[in-house]
Structure 1
Amino acid sequence: MTEKTTNRYSLDLGRTYQTIDHFGASGAWSMDPIGKMWSEESKTRVADLLFSQEKGIGLSGWRFAIGSGGGEGNPDYPEPLLWRGHSDTFKPTSHLPYDWSTHEGQRWFLKAAKLRGVDRIVAMAYSPPRWLAKNGRIAPDESVGQSNLADDRIGEFACYLADIVRHFAEEEIPFDVISPVNEPSWCWDDSRQEGNRYTNEQIKLLVRALHGELRRRNLPTEIDIAETAEIAALLDDEDVQAFDPRLSFYKGHGNEAKHGGKYREYIKDFLGDSDFALMIGNKLSYHSYWADHANDGDRLLAYRERLRQALDRHAPAAKLWETEYCNLNADGAVRDLGMGLALFTARVIHHDLTVARASAWSWWLALSPHDFKDGLIYTDFARRGDPETVLPSKTLWALGHYSRFVRPGAARVELAGPSDKDGLMASAYAHPANRTLTVVLLNYAEQAADVDLAGEPGWPDEMTGYLTSDREGDDLRSFGAVRPSEPLAVPGRSIVTLHGSLPEGAGFSL
């Protein structure tokens, strides 16, 4: 008989890494029709699942989509059920005044988030409004060249965004962060989804203009860029070539070959420019799409190692935020409310936090009507009068193992021990404000894993355990007290979080 392996972990509170800013999700598109058409009871249930630390996963970040005006009745997008092609706009034309009654559904959830204690609100603009776009549409086409926003209208776009930020500040629902571009290296030609490409120089022009408009209005809102679709757009050319010798540099969608300009090397160009880095809070954001599997050159681990190395080379004190993820792989086109996607996602979160050392992590759509692996919560609702179905996924609860317990201000601390992408993975977070410790254990394997936390100073005497597995009811379920001095079995294909108060004398290096 083969002797069972015990996985021992050593805690070192004196060795700290990044401070956590938030865990979040996006209210893009689906939250507007839901917020407008659903009953208060159904909306409240969704809000509790997303934002409540008692009834749900306690998100600490929320992303509000500033629509560009691809709304219902638009001849380009005649099907109202294709929600991602339909968005409100606060200003339908350059000549009309702002209409602050739009985005009604999203505004409901924005208030619900703040009411439940969400710490950080991010406003996002996927595209300029239609009246600022060269082609008058919510996405570019090949004819517009480098971008659908002309350089001589960048100032107008910056004023538009700053006006929106100021309005919400006056309404006492301030945006902590404004994200003016999304996946700017993507082509976006003829997309039914809002989007726009920007060269590096155009991003700099926009950020400088927006920074000036925010300061002129005395608004403390931070600017976040660049929400890259792929990690490779952040890397230096030599990093991309080292990762994949077939490439001399990141080519993305071929924008440079088609239109000229530069759409890559964001760390070097943005954080390597010290004056510009200050305008963006010495931080860059990225999306984890296609960085979630171990084949194709090990995009799970090696990709993030390259990312961390590039950041340490140019700006070791800078922050990274992971701001969007769902499964866009070949198997992504079917809903999965089960444990398979939950574990797949938790493994991505783990590597973003422990290898890339991201300070924030966000999922894509908080609520999805699609037959796709893109939602934390799903609904079959399509039009007014349909049943208001609320279908929480196991992925919701997987994210909750981090978001409910690892709160803003927590520091990731050293937890040395086994790290197997196909087996057991673990990370630890200390909270100096309330002197608590959170440990997240992810078991990707089919068989249970024995864990030994004993013999190390700094552990709480007792912690509360929470479990998500494929069993019904195992949705961040509390399973009672756990003593780190005693062995712990982590079930196969499950996630376990331990949370407890640190003993007196346990110190931090913060």
Structure 2
Amino acid sequence: MPGSGRSPRTDSAPRPAYRAPRPHRPAATLAAAMSTVLALTTAGTAAADAPGAADTSAATAIRLDPSYQQPEFEGWGTALIWFANVTGHWPEEQRAALADALFGEDGLRFTIARYNIGGGDSPETEPYMRAGGAVPGHWHRPDEFGPPDDPDEDWQEPAGWWDPADPEHWDHDADAAQLWWLEAARQRGADTFEAFSNSPPYFMTESGLTSGNTDPARDNLRPDQYEEFAAYLAGTVEHIEGDTGIDFASLSPVNEPNTDYWEAGGRQEGSHWDPASQARIVSAARAELDRRGLDTPIAAMDETNPTLFRTNWESYGAQTRADIGRLNVHTYGTDGRAGPRDIAKGSDTPLWMSEVDLGPSGIPQDFDAIEPGLALSERITDDLTQLEPGAWVLWQAIEDYENMRPDRENMNWGLIQVDFTPEDAATEPIRMNKKYYAMGNYSRFIEPGAHVIADDDPDTVAATGRAPGRVVVVHTNPSGAARDIDVDLGGFASVAGGATATPHTTSASRNLEEGAPIAVDGDHLRATVEAGSVTTFVIDGAEGVDPGQALIRPGSEYGLTGSASGLDLAAAEDGTVVQTGTPDGDAGHWTFQPAGDGWDSRTQYTIANAATGTVLSADGGELALAPPGSGADQRWMVSTTGQGEVTVVNAGNGLLLDVLGDSRDEGAPVGVWRPTTGANQVWDLAGAD
């Protein structure tokens, strides 16, 4: 959650009503010495303790499974927001160096930028937010609705003055700093942009402040302002697209909505939305975009963790779900990633991990400690393998150095830290921490268009590259000792003779340092990775899929054993589906037949019982065995983290195979239910032939 828990809230909310004008405080004299953006280090040969070939029977075995390929990866990125609001006004050379570090070819090569549509507090509200937090709104209040030249304390702004149809009520140049960053990202190769909102403008809120309601558990948007807020969001998108030529891939109208983080007087914009309110603004925004002839998809709901995401989604009706073109979730909490994953599959909707950062990783502000980099790497690995997002987007990649100092928050938020209120922005140092380089272990090598594939090691993420024959393996070794690894490439159709793997290491002593190529031995890559390190291996020469090594071999028989009960899925004599410890012959054997070609994590299968020839069906939300047909109720998708356990998702209604009542009893009925992330929906898949 951006900022939650990072700084204490103010003791009292600033007054949103009229205050006498205060003298303008001169901008702080911008000073400090700027360091040149650090180039990502490469070395032509490996150092003595760099990753190298290993030959040991005690190696950590890692099996890659290219038969389970996630959809095309869309890219890596960052929200712009506070840092862009600050640094977009800096001298050209300095802000360009920062943009190069994030989006440039020699930087992190981010291709996604999330643009924040600021709400904006009243001109009469005394500034109270953190540096950069007061993102300007796109509205303009004509003088006739503002205070008179000599107002008294009883002056009140007229209600309902804003008219979205009146061009004089808009100011699309107010946010020039963040708009500079939007264009800078595009010039450096970014091609995917999202507009998102943290709060409506002050004049649409209950509290009169964009930081939230006085009661943080209550909505802040006034009930009569849904259509106006939808017009504000859609109008901003329409104008930016027309003015810049940038097309927004999505519009996200709410952020971390079903929480009590956002309180009037907090140091950043935010707003509570209960699930019914979320649904209402999603539909209002969709209708307004349609009215303006914009096909921009709605993204929702940018909830703070997978569990709250699932709670919100389950409350939505069919029309609200249909109005959502992409699902966004944050992973500030990490339990239950399988929920959004299977919801996305069952609803046939793309999914992003659209915001996270790790500041409180147990290490005080430190630019040389590897621990924050290891923590970030582990979060990325878990997100990619458990959540299966189409994109991974960081909360603001550049943080306020002064706010992170030991006498303040003393944390490692951001990949780069600069002083947001420097004496001299032209000479302000650009400070990369180890998270910056650990991020590069992913963003520089797993490119848009790649496919993340399954593997059986929790410290590893792997992907096929865009280039034929390229495979990228990122392994995190958080331990205090060097580790031998043995990467099994036998799941690929072919591994070329002479194939090599080039390592790139981030550790306490290395910043994405390139090592000497390691020869692949047959279909095995054996290497030693440094203690406390993130190592990316770029393998050239492995491609295709060996069907005989696939997770699911079409036409082969499998058993499904309940993870919670230890009992097998079986066809009962009365034609129902039950769990049993002693399935009668082929009654516990199941044949998976794909509906099409390819090796996709969203491939749909019919699942036939080997004894009866009938297939699993979820028609009407009830599990049954039925004669084979062509309906979506008889097609199923399999989800896995690559370590033997699966969930089974119905393509027609998004429900999962579920041991009803979480029973451990012999003969207990198996049905279908919405994703719960419970063990009674998890199955061990094993070959039965």
TM-score class normalised by the smaller sequence: 0.7 to 0.9
Alignment match, 1:509: 599
- When residues 454 and 413 of structure 1 are mapped into structure 2, their CA distance, relative to the original with a 3 A threshold, is closer
Corresponding residue to 1:219 among 294, 298, 305 = 294
1:490 aligns with 2:564: no
Report the residue type matching 1:269 in the other structure.
Answer: S
Corresponding residue to 1:277 among 321, 338, 348 = 321
**Mapped contact 2:231–2:285 kept (Cα < 8 A):** yes
Distance (Å, rounded) in 2 between the aligned partners of 1:15 and 1:400: 25
Alignment match, 1:45: 97
1:422-470 per-position Cα deviation (integer Å, ceiling 9, x unaligned): xxx1111113565532111111111111122356244461233211111
1:290-309 aligned at under 5 Å gives the runs: 290-291=333-334, 299=335, 303-305=336-338, 308=341
**Mapped contact 2:75–2:392 kept (Cα < 8 A):** yes
Corresponding residue to 2:330 among 280, 287, 293 = 287
1:321 aligns with 2:358: no
Alignment match, 2:513: 477
User: CA-atom RMSD, angstroms?
Assistant: 2.7
Alignment match, 2:74: 21
In the TM superposition, residue 182 of structure 1 has moved relative to its aligned partner by 0.6
**Mapped contact 1:135–1:144 kept (Cα < 8 A):** no
Corresponding residue to 2:447 among 407, 418, 426 = 407
Distance (Å, rounded) in 2 between the aligned partners of 1:4 and 1:447: 17
The TM-score with structure 2 as length reference comes to: 0.61
1:370-381 aligned at under 5 Å gives the runs: 370-371=403-404, 372-381=411-420
1:36-435 aligned at under 5 Å gives the runs: 36=89, 38-52=90-104, 54-70=105-121, 75-78=125-128, 82-93=130-141, 94=162, 96-142=168-214, 146-170=218-242, 171-187=244-260, 188-190=262-264, 191-235=266-310, 265-270=311-316, 273-281=317-325, 283-291=326-334, 299=335, 303-305=336-338, 308=341, 311=343, 315=346, 317-327=348-358, 329=360, 331=362, 334=365, 338-369=369-400, 370-371=403-404, 372-383=411-422, 385-386=424-425, 387-416=427-456, 418-419=457-458, 425-432=459-466
Q: Secondary structure at the match of 1:447?
A: coil
The count of residues paired between Structure 1 and Structure 2 equals 451
1:102-141 per-position Cα deviation (integer Å, ceiling 9, x unaligned): 2222112111111111121111110001122222211223
Alignment match, 2:154: none
1:468 aligns with 2:506: yes
Distance (Å, rounded) in 2 between the aligned partners of 1:155 and 1:129: 13
In the TM superposition, residue 278 of structure 1 has moved relative to its aligned partner by 2.8
**Mapped contact 2:86–2:132 kept (Cα < 8 A):** no
In the TM superposition, residue 14 of structure 1 has moved relative to its aligned partner by 2.3
In the TM superposition, residue 340 of structure 1 has moved relative to its aligned partner by 0.8
Distance (Å, rounded) in 2 between the aligned partners of 1:498 and 1:43: 32
Distance (Å, rounded) in 1 between the aligned partners of 2:209 and 2:171: 20
In the TM superposition, residue 77 of structure 1 has moved relative to its aligned partner by 2.1
Report the residue type matching 1:268 in the other structure.
Answer: E
In the TM superposition, residue 277 of structure 1 has moved relative to its aligned partner by 2.4
Alignment match, 1:296: none
Q: Secondary structure at the match of 2:114?
A: strand
Report the residue type matching 1:463 in the other structure.
Answer: A
Report the residue type matching 1:469 in the other structure.
Answer: S
Corresponding residue to 1:449 among 468, 483, 486 = 483
Structure 1 gaps of 5+ residues are 236-264, 292-298, 420-424
1:217-249 per-position Cα deviation (integer Å, ceiling 9, x unaligned): 2223221111112332123xxxxxxxxxxxxxx
Q: Secondary structure at the match of 2:301?
A: coil
Report the residue type matching 2:460 in the other structure.
Answer: A
Distance (Å, rounded) in 2 between the aligned partners of 1:455 and 1:350: 19
1:5-25 per-position Cα deviation (integer Å, ceiling 9, x unaligned): 212222332222343222211
- When residues 500 and 219 of structure 1 are mapped into structure 2, their CA distance, relative to the original with a 3 A threshold, is farther
- When residues 9 and 140 of structure 1 are mapped into structure 2, their CA distance, relative to the original with a 3 A threshold, is closer
Q: Secondary structure at the match of 2:397?
A: strand
1:273-323 per-position Cα deviation (integer Å, ceiling 9, x unaligned): 443323212x422222143xxxxxxx5xxx4356556x38x9264443222
Structure 2 gaps of 5+ residues are 1-55, 142-161, 405-410, 547-597, 601-689
Q: Secondary structure at the match of 1:56?
A: coil
**Mapped contact 1:179–1:223 kept (Cα < 8 A):** yes
**Mapped contact 2:422–2:428 kept (Cα < 8 A):** no
In the TM superposition, residue 379 of structure 1 has moved relative to its aligned partner by 0.7
Distance (Å, rounded) in 2 between the aligned partners of 1:218 and 1:8: 54
- When residues 498 and 331 of structure 1 are mapped into structure 2, their CA distance, relative to the original with a 3 A threshold, is closer
Distance (Å, rounded) in 2 between the aligned partners of 1:492 and 1:150: 54
- When residues 119 and 464 of structure 1 are mapped into structure 2, their CA distance, relative to the original with a 3 A threshold, is farther
- When residues 495 and 144 of structure 1 are mapped into structure 2, their CA distance, relative to the original with a 3 A threshold, is closer
Q: Secondary structure at the match of 1:159?
A: helix
Distance (Å, rounded) in 1 between the aligned partners of 2:63 and 2:254: 42
Q: Secondary structure at the match of 1:446?
A: coil
Identity over aligned pairs, percent: 26
Distance (Å, rounded) in 2 between the aligned partners of 1:481 and 1:410: 22
In the TM superposition, residue 338 of structure 1 has moved relative to its aligned partner by 2.9
Report the residue type matching 2:330 in the other structure.
Answer: H
Higher helix share: 1
**Mapped contact 2:255–2:271 kept (Cα < 8 A):** yes
1:12-54 per-position Cα deviation (integer Å, ceiling 9, x unaligned): 3222234322221111112122110x222211211111012x3
Report the residue type matching 2:106 in the other structure.
Answer: K
Alignment match, 1:260: none
Distance (Å, rounded) in 1 between the aligned partners of 2:255 and 2:267: 15
**Mapped contact 2:479–2:531 kept (Cα < 8 A):** yes
In the TM superposition, residue 391 of structure 1 has moved relative to its aligned partner by 0.6
Distance (Å, rounded) in 2 between the aligned partners of 1:380 and 1:433: 40
The TM-score with structure 1 as length reference comes to: 0.81
